[in-house]
Amino acid sequence: MSGITKTLTLASSFVLAASTLALGQATGAGAASSTPTKVGVAGIEPAIANTNEGKKEIDALQQKFAPKQTELKALNDEVETLKKQLAAQGDKLSEEERTNRVRALETKQKTLERNAEDAENEFQRAMQEVFNRLGSKMLPVLDKYALAHGYTVILDVSNQQATPVLWASQTTNITKDLIDAYNALGPAAPAPKPAGSGAAANKPSGAAANRKP
């Protein structure tokens, strides 16, 4: 279930709020002062996902959905086994037996697809709830950081389709600074993984990753 092992889409409402905040500050600053515009960029999605609290929340979700992932893998294995058996024995079966096996395979395949889609939707809803909640806490952190460091505009480069930035110097990237500032609010260390479990590969990026569980 690749949607469980990949992260994550930030709620559009939060991105809109962040963009509105940045533009509002830029307009106000421009009207009040003639100082040069200071622009920064940040990956808000990866910033949230890589805070201590974000890592803890995402790890908890992955553990919660691990049994469903195992269930889907077992069902997928059954489907693949039926396909191989049908391919190997198809010409040796009677027409009736072959028809029955094809129907059984199609039924199980539909069940797999339906269960996988349901699991993906459930996971994405849970993930979006996490990002909405942590995003509401990240906004004041961003606001405070921008004001303290004299920024008039901060662009969210998590989604290049929504905010296309062709080039930006690394010195303008404040993603890590936002992570550090958020972590300074309080401890939220990632939850320890169960013994024997594989490390979850969390690789947040602006582009929506392979999401299917």
Residue 154 neighbours by CB under 8 Å, 6+ apart:
18, 22, 39, 40, 41, 42, 142, 146, 174
- pLDDT score recorded for residue 68: 96
Tokens of 61: 């979700």
At residue 208 the predicted structure's pLDDT band, cuts being 50, 70 and 90, is very low
Residue 189, domain member (yes or no): no
Residue 191, domain member (yes or no): no
Q: Is pTM, for the whole model, over 0.75?
A: no
| Domains: count for the chain | 1
Residue 207, domain member (yes or no): no
| 125 residue type, one letter | R
Residue 194, domain member (yes or no): no
pLDDT at 170 over 70: yes
Residue 192, domain member (yes or no): no
**What does the pLDDT look like over 107-149, one tens digit per residue?**
999 999 999 999 999 999 999 999 999 999 999 999 999 999 9
Determine what percent of the chain is predicted with pLDDT higher than 90.
Answer: 58
Residue 202, domain member (yes or no): no
Nearest to 7 by CA among 47, 38, 49, 43: 49
Residue 127, domain member (yes or no): yes
Residue 196, domain member (yes or no): no
- pLDDT score recorded for residue 164: 84
Domain that holds residue 97: 2-183
- The larger pLDDT score, comparing residue 197 to residue 109, is at 109
**What does the pLDDT look like over 18-73, one tens digit per residue?**
444 444 444 454 444 556 789 999 999 999 999 999 999 999 999 999 999 999 99
At residue 2 the predicted structure's pLDDT band, cuts being 50, 70 and 90, is very low
- pLDDT score recorded for residue 197: 44
